Amino acid sequence: MIRDRASPNFGPRRDGLRPHMLVLHYTGMRDTEAALDRLCDPSAQVSAHYVICPRGRLWQLVPEEARAWHAGAGGWAGRSDINSRSIGIELVNTGAQPFPEPQMQVLERLMRDVMARHQIVPRDVIAHSDMAPERKEDPGPRFDWRRLARAGLALWPEGMGAERPLAESLDAIGYPSACAKKRLQAFRFRFYPWGTGAESKADRCRATAVAAAFIRD
Protein backbone atom coordinates (compact mmCIF):
# COMPACT_ATOMS: atom_id res chain seq x y z
CA MET A 1 0.00 0.00 0.00
CA ILE A 2 1.33 3.40 -1.02
CA ARG A 3 0.51 6.32 1.26
CA ASP A 4 0.26 9.79 -0.27
CA ARG A 5 2.06 12.70 1.38
CA ALA A 6 2.21 15.48 -1.19
CA SER A 7 5.35 17.62 -1.26
CA PRO A 8 5.27 21.06 -2.87
CA ASN A 9 8.94 20.69 -3.80
CA PHE A 10 8.90 19.68 -7.44
CA GLY A 11 8.60 21.04 -10.96
CA PRO A 12 8.44 19.92 -14.58
CA ARG A 13 11.22 17.80 -16.03
CA ARG A 14 13.40 19.98 -18.23
CA ASP A 15 14.06 19.82 -21.97
CA GLY A 16 11.52 17.08 -22.51
CA LEU A 17 13.56 14.59 -20.46
CA ARG A 18 11.95 11.47 -19.06
CA PRO A 19 13.14 9.28 -16.19
CA HIS A 20 15.63 6.64 -17.28
CA MET A 21 17.54 6.39 -13.99
CA LEU A 22 16.87 5.51 -10.35
CA VAL A 23 18.80 7.23 -7.57
CA LEU A 24 18.83 5.64 -4.12
CA HIS A 25 19.32 7.70 -0.95
CA TYR A 26 19.17 7.50 2.79
CA THR A 27 17.50 10.33 4.68
CA GLY A 28 20.25 10.66 7.30
CA MET A 29 17.45 10.77 9.88
CA ARG A 30 16.21 8.01 12.20
CA ASP A 31 12.72 9.45 12.58
CA THR A 32 10.35 8.87 9.65
CA GLU A 33 8.00 11.72 10.43
CA ALA A 34 10.87 14.19 10.68
CA ALA A 35 12.16 13.00 7.30
CA LEU A 36 8.74 13.38 5.70
CA ASP A 37 8.33 16.84 7.22
CA ARG A 38 11.65 17.97 5.78
CA LEU A 39 10.96 16.55 2.34
CA CYS A 40 7.63 18.39 2.32
CA ASP A 41 8.90 21.68 3.76
CA PRO A 42 8.96 24.41 1.08
CA SER A 43 11.86 26.16 2.82
CA ALA A 44 14.02 23.03 2.65
CA GLN A 45 13.73 22.82 -1.16
CA VAL A 46 14.32 19.06 -1.17
CA SER A 47 12.02 16.15 -1.98
CA ALA A 48 11.89 12.66 -3.43
CA HIS A 49 9.36 10.64 -5.33
CA TYR A 50 9.18 7.93 -2.66
CA VAL A 51 10.12 7.36 0.98
CA ILE A 52 10.33 3.94 2.66
CA CYS A 53 10.49 3.64 6.44
CA PRO A 54 12.35 0.85 8.31
CA ARG A 55 9.14 -1.12 8.86
CA GLY A 56 8.37 -1.06 5.15
CA ARG A 57 5.74 1.65 4.96
CA LEU A 58 5.86 3.45 1.64
CA TRP A 59 4.98 7.06 0.86
CA GLN A 60 4.74 8.84 -2.48
CA LEU A 61 5.60 12.53 -2.24
CA VAL A 62 5.97 13.57 -5.88
CA PRO A 63 4.34 12.15 -9.04
CA GLU A 64 6.75 10.17 -11.19
CA GLU A 65 6.15 12.41 -14.18
CA ALA A 66 7.41 15.42 -12.20
CA ARG A 67 10.97 16.48 -11.37
CA ALA A 68 11.63 15.92 -7.65
CA TRP A 69 14.51 17.74 -5.98
CA HIS A 70 16.50 14.81 -4.64
CA ALA A 71 19.79 14.62 -6.55
CA GLY A 72 21.15 18.17 -6.64
CA ALA A 73 24.40 19.11 -8.33
CA GLY A 74 26.45 16.35 -9.87
CA GLY A 75 26.43 14.05 -12.87
CA TRP A 76 26.67 10.51 -14.12
CA ALA A 77 28.04 9.05 -17.34
CA GLY A 78 28.61 12.53 -18.72
CA ARG A 79 25.05 13.68 -18.02
CA SER A 80 23.94 16.52 -15.78
CA ASP A 81 20.52 17.51 -14.34
CA ILE A 82 20.01 14.08 -12.83
CA ASN A 83 16.75 15.30 -11.26
CA SER A 84 15.17 15.57 -14.71
CA ARG A 85 16.45 12.12 -15.68
CA SER A 86 15.57 10.10 -12.60
CA ILE A 87 13.21 8.80 -9.95
CA GLY A 88 14.46 9.37 -6.39
CA ILE A 89 13.83 6.91 -3.56
CA GLU A 90 14.69 7.81 0.04
CA LEU A 91 15.22 5.13 2.69
CA VAL A 92 14.77 6.27 6.28
CA ASN A 93 18.15 5.45 7.79
CA THR A 94 20.90 7.44 9.47
CA GLY A 95 23.60 5.57 7.57
CA ALA A 96 24.87 4.04 10.82
CA GLN A 97 22.62 0.98 10.89
CA PRO A 98 21.70 -1.87 8.54
CA PHE A 99 18.70 -1.53 6.24
CA PRO A 100 15.94 -3.75 7.72
CA GLU A 101 14.41 -6.63 5.78
CA PRO A 102 10.89 -5.10 5.54
CA GLN A 103 12.38 -1.93 4.07
CA MET A 104 14.47 -3.86 1.53
CA GLN A 105 11.52 -6.02 0.47
CA VAL A 106 9.38 -2.97 -0.23
CA LEU A 107 12.27 -1.29 -2.03
CA GLU A 108 12.68 -4.28 -4.35
CA ARG A 109 8.97 -4.36 -5.20
CA LEU A 110 8.90 -0.62 -5.82
CA MET A 111 12.02 -0.74 -7.97
CA ARG A 112 10.59 -3.52 -10.13
CA ASP A 113 7.44 -1.49 -10.77
CA VAL A 114 9.24 1.78 -11.46
CA MET A 115 11.87 0.19 -13.68
CA ALA A 116 9.21 -1.62 -15.70
CA ARG A 117 7.14 1.54 -16.17
CA HIS A 118 10.08 3.61 -17.37
CA GLN A 119 12.22 0.90 -18.96
CA ILE A 120 15.09 1.62 -16.56
CA VAL A 121 17.91 -0.90 -16.85
CA PRO A 122 20.03 -2.11 -13.88
CA ARG A 123 23.05 -0.17 -15.15
CA ASP A 124 21.15 3.08 -14.56
CA VAL A 125 20.35 2.42 -10.89
CA ILE A 126 22.86 4.44 -8.90
CA ALA A 127 23.68 5.75 -5.43
CA HIS A 128 23.43 9.41 -4.55
CA SER A 129 27.14 9.20 -3.70
CA ASP A 130 27.88 7.90 -7.21
CA MET A 131 26.68 11.07 -8.90
CA ALA A 132 27.83 13.52 -6.20
CA PRO A 133 30.94 11.98 -4.61
CA GLU A 134 32.23 15.24 -3.13
CA ARG A 135 28.92 16.04 -1.39
CA LYS A 136 27.12 12.82 -0.57
CA GLU A 137 27.72 9.42 1.04
CA ASP A 138 24.27 7.83 0.80
CA PRO A 139 23.08 5.14 0.83
CA GLY A 140 26.53 4.26 2.16
CA PRO A 141 28.61 1.11 2.69
CA ARG A 142 25.93 -0.74 4.68
CA PHE A 143 23.51 -0.81 1.76
CA ASP A 144 23.27 -4.24 0.07
CA TRP A 145 23.90 -3.61 -3.64
CA ARG A 146 24.74 -7.27 -4.20
CA ARG A 147 21.22 -8.21 -3.09
CA LEU A 148 19.69 -5.83 -5.65
CA ALA A 149 21.92 -7.24 -8.36
CA ARG A 150 20.85 -10.79 -7.56
CA ALA A 151 17.26 -9.61 -7.98
CA GLY A 152 18.12 -8.10 -11.38
CA LEU A 153 17.70 -4.54 -10.12
CA ALA A 154 21.28 -3.19 -10.16
CA LEU A 155 24.78 -4.09 -11.27
CA TRP A 156 27.25 -5.84 -8.98
CA PRO A 157 30.01 -7.50 -11.01
CA GLU A 158 31.72 -10.32 -9.17
CA GLY A 159 35.48 -10.79 -8.99
CA MET A 160 38.45 -8.74 -10.13
CA GLY A 161 39.93 -7.61 -13.42
CA ALA A 162 43.37 -6.67 -14.65
CA GLU A 163 45.18 -3.88 -12.84
CA ARG A 164 44.60 -0.58 -14.65
CA PRO A 165 44.65 3.08 -13.58
CA LEU A 166 41.80 3.70 -11.20
CA ALA A 167 40.83 7.05 -12.73
CA GLU A 168 40.33 5.47 -16.15
CA SER A 169 38.04 2.81 -14.75
CA LEU A 170 36.01 5.29 -12.71
CA ASP A 171 35.55 7.44 -15.81
CA ALA A 172 34.33 4.39 -17.74
CA ILE A 173 31.87 3.46 -14.99
CA GLY A 174 30.37 6.95 -15.08
CA TYR A 175 31.73 8.78 -12.05
CA PRO A 176 31.92 12.57 -12.47
CA SER A 177 35.04 14.64 -11.92
CA ALA A 178 35.94 14.98 -8.23
CA CYS A 179 38.97 14.76 -6.01
CA ALA A 180 40.61 11.34 -6.18
CA LYS A 181 39.98 10.57 -2.51
CA LYS A 182 36.25 11.25 -2.78
CA ARG A 183 35.88 9.26 -5.98
CA LEU A 184 37.63 6.32 -4.36
CA GLN A 185 35.32 6.56 -1.35
CA ALA A 186 32.21 6.64 -3.55
CA PHE A 187 33.45 3.65 -5.53
CA ARG A 188 34.14 1.68 -2.37
CA PHE A 189 30.76 2.53 -0.87
CA ARG A 190 29.10 1.08 -3.96
CA PHE A 191 31.32 -1.75 -5.21
CA TYR A 192 34.06 -2.48 -2.66
CA PRO A 193 32.75 -1.65 0.85
CA TRP A 194 35.45 -3.67 2.61
CA GLY A 195 38.22 -1.52 1.08
CA THR A 196 40.11 0.72 3.52
CA GLY A 197 43.10 3.02 3.60
CA ALA A 198 44.93 4.43 0.61
CA GLU A 199 44.18 3.35 -2.94
CA SER A 200 45.38 -0.21 -3.50
CA LYS A 201 45.92 -2.74 -6.25
CA ALA A 202 42.69 -4.42 -5.11
CA ASP A 203 40.76 -1.18 -5.72
CA ARG A 204 42.21 -0.92 -9.21
CA CYS A 205 41.48 -4.54 -10.11
CA ARG A 206 37.96 -4.34 -8.71
CA ALA A 207 37.28 -1.13 -10.65
CA THR A 208 38.42 -2.76 -13.88
CA ALA A 209 35.89 -5.55 -13.40
CA VAL A 210 33.13 -3.05 -12.66
CA ALA A 211 34.03 -0.86 -15.65
CA ALA A 212 33.73 -3.85 -17.98
CA ALA A 213 30.13 -4.33 -16.85
CA PHE A 214 29.31 -0.66 -17.44
CA ILE A 215 30.43 -0.51 -21.06
CA ARG A 216 27.79 1.52 -22.84
CA ASP A 217 26.56 1.28 -26.38
Q: In CATH, what number is assigned to the domain containing residue 34?
A: 3.40.80.10
Instruction: Give the domain extent around 20.
Output: 2-150
Specify whether 90 is catalytic: yes
Number of domains composing the chain: 2
Per-residue pLDDT in tens (0 to 9) along the chain, 217 residues? 899 999 999 999 999 999 999 999 999 998 999 999 999 999 999 999 999 999 999 999 999 999 999 999 999 999 999 999 999 999 999 999 999 999 999 999 999 999 999 999 999 999 999 999 999 999 999 999 999 999 999 999 999 999 999 999 999 999 999 999 999 999 999 999 999 999 999 999 999 999 999 986 4
State whether 145 and 170 are in the same domain: no
State whether 37 and 121 are in the same domain: yes
| From 90, 108, 137, 199, active-site residue | 90
24 sits in which H/E element: strand 21-26
Q: Beta strand pairing status for 21-26 and 86-91?
A: parallel
The residue out of 150, 178, 201 marking a domain boundary is 150
Angle at which helices 166-173 and 201-213 cross, to 10°:
30
Q: What pLDDT was estimated at residue 30?
A: 87
Domain presence at residue 156: no
Q: What pLDDT was estimated at residue 188?
A: 98
State whether 101 and 196 are in the same domain: no
